[in-house]
Chains A and B, each alone.
Chain A
Amino acid sequence: MDGSSHLQPSENVVLDLAADQSWGERNRAAWRDVCDGLAQWRLVWTLAWLDIRLKYRGSVLGPFWLTLSTGAMVAAMGILYAVLFRLELRDYIPYLGLSLVLWGFVGALVSDACGAFTTNQGMIRSVRMPFTLYAARIVVRNLIILGHNAVVVVVANLVLWTWPPAGVAWLALPGLVLWLAVSLSLALLLGALCARLHDIPPIVANVMQMAFFLSAVIWKPEQLDDRQWMLALNPFFCLLEVVRGPLFGTPPSLLVVGCALGYSAVLFAITWLVFARVRGRIAFWL
């Protein structure tokens, strides 16, 4: 084993860190973190896949346990609420399936986001990596789960033979792109806040519980009759609707789209301010 057989790291590192940075320097450092993190998409993808595979290693169904449990939930809740609300089963179950699958992504993402940095403290304290890497890992992991759960929606539509009009479904694509950006932003923001303030995770859990009931996941916006406009005040509803609406054949109103974009812009701004400010401090908090 001689020295020349050693591998060379492919990139040269230039590290220049100084205290008392100006806002310009902080912004550049934060921007570099985001770019470097996203440039590591191969590593992000591998880590996210390993998370899923590890969780289900040794199980026969593997990640399809996710699909199965979501399916059981949709069937049980669908029948129960269709009876309680006196709804048409063939209309309600596909709606509920789609809603629950999409909300499952939102809920899991937000709760994972709280641990974005705290669960990776071993890594963060032993090697310098862009923080965006850990945030992106959570987003991709939940996207993979969403992919598995999407089977539920397809099966529900197959069983009941109810296909939504395909013409508007593509409108969900820009919505999904917005979701990706919002998800990454949430993971960075909540990850940093939760590393510093340990009271945030329980607060977030409570907010998400409330949001589940307030965001027209298990009920339909039409049930509010002439008070539907109030839903636009709920960021979760607006963001949910930009993806769910087109997939269910009912494209969201311009008001909802506008609100979704507005709320996202506010979130991006807050995330940027917080992340640029505290990025260099996160390692000290873990």
Chain B
Amino acid sequence: MTSSIDVEGLSLSFPLYHGNARSLKKTVLSTVTGRMASDNRNRVVVEALRDVNLALRPGDRLALVGGNGAGKTTLLRAMAGIYEPVAGRVRVLGSLNALVDPHLGMNPELTGRENIMLRGMYLGLDKKAIEGLAEDVAAFAELTDFLDLPVRIYSSGMIVRLGFALATSVQPQVLLMDEWFLAGDAGFMEKARVRLENLVRGVEILVLSSHVTDVVLQWCTRALWMDQGRVRADGPPAEVLSAYLGHPVQLSDWAQQRMATTGSDPGEAG
């Protein structure tokens, strides 16, 4: 199946039920008092996304840029089917993996192996595939003896390695990735970067929410500037990033050097 993402006129709003407004009392009272009901229904809502349109086809690598609260993560979640549209439509074809929450399914009380098994089951893998997953993750995260101990006692480095290995061990057709995943990129192990780049190269469609100029320029073929839930600009990454940051952007010397020596460019769809 060819993968695709189609978002048409998508709007999302979060009702704010503050304090007592959320209580049964208010609901019952507003029903009982008749006319007041229509007034009371004028709830305060946060419009997280307003009329977002976009279509992605295999080979597309989209970067979402924008300030905090611009709706980037909400848009990722909407494309992952976590939030259903309040207006408009979202269609996604193809296997999908959304790396939105670093702690997805990780239970600190469970052992590393149990966490891996659970993740595999959430992904709908069969028994044999889960064994493969456990092997792959254990090898990458270098947990050895710790694999059968509760995650609670892991060092923070081990937890990061486990979370990262788990999230990157499944190859979807559509990958939705939030910026947490690239946090502390500079200090991240070379091995982790190679693994992530391999994953990105293998996916058909990538949607990435990121502030890291190098990553956006190197990996993405298109950028969307989100501002207060709306699409402010949509176009080539360099243009959109320059407009967003207010100054011209280019790859850092370090990234240019790396690309020249390794010839690796995850932006090129495999």
A128 to B84 Cα, complex, angstroms: 10
A198 to B81 Cα, complex, angstroms: 25
Cross-chain contact A18 with B89 (CB below 8 angstroms): yes
B82 interfacial by beta-carbon distance below 8 Å: yes
Cross-chain contact B95 with A50 (CB below 8 angstroms): no
Q: Which residues of A contact B90 (CB under 8 A)?
A: 15-18
Q: Which residues of A contact B132 (CB under 8 A)?
A: 7
User: Main secondary structure on chain A at its contact with chain B?
Assistant: mixed
Band of interface residues on A: 35 or more
Say which residue of A4, A13, A43, A128 sits within 8 Å of B82 (CB atoms). Answer: A128
The contact string, 1 if C-beta is below 8 Å from chain B, for chain A 30-43, is 00000000001011
Cross-chain contact B101 with A122 (CB below 8 angstroms): yes
- Decide: A8 near B171, CB < 8 A? Known: A1-B195, A3-B270, A200-B24: yes
Cross-chain contact B82 with A126 (CB below 8 angstroms): yes
Q: Which residues of B contact A14 (CB under 8 A)?
A: 92-93
CB within 8 Å of B: which residues of A? 1-20, 40, 42-43, 46-47, 50, 54, 57, 122-129, 196-200, 203, 280-281, 283-285
Band of interface residues on B: 35 or more
Cross-chain contact A2 with B198 (CB below 8 angstroms): yes
A50 to B82 Cα, complex, angstroms: 25
Cross-chain contact A123 with B105 (CB below 8 angstroms): yes
The contact string, 1 if C-beta is below 8 Å from chain A, for chain B 8-32, is 0001001101000011110100000
Closest chain A residue to B98, Cβ basis:
A127
Other A-B pairs, 20, CB within 8 Å; known A47-B118, A54-B107, A128-B82: A1-B140, A1-B191, A3-B171, A3-B199, A4-B202, A6-B171, A7-B125, A7-B133, A7-B169, A9-B125, A10-B129, A11-B124, A18-B90, A43-B121, A122-B104, A125-B77, A125-B101, A196-B22, A197-B24, A284-B83
Q: Which residues of A contact B81 (CB under 8 A)?
A: 15, 17, 128
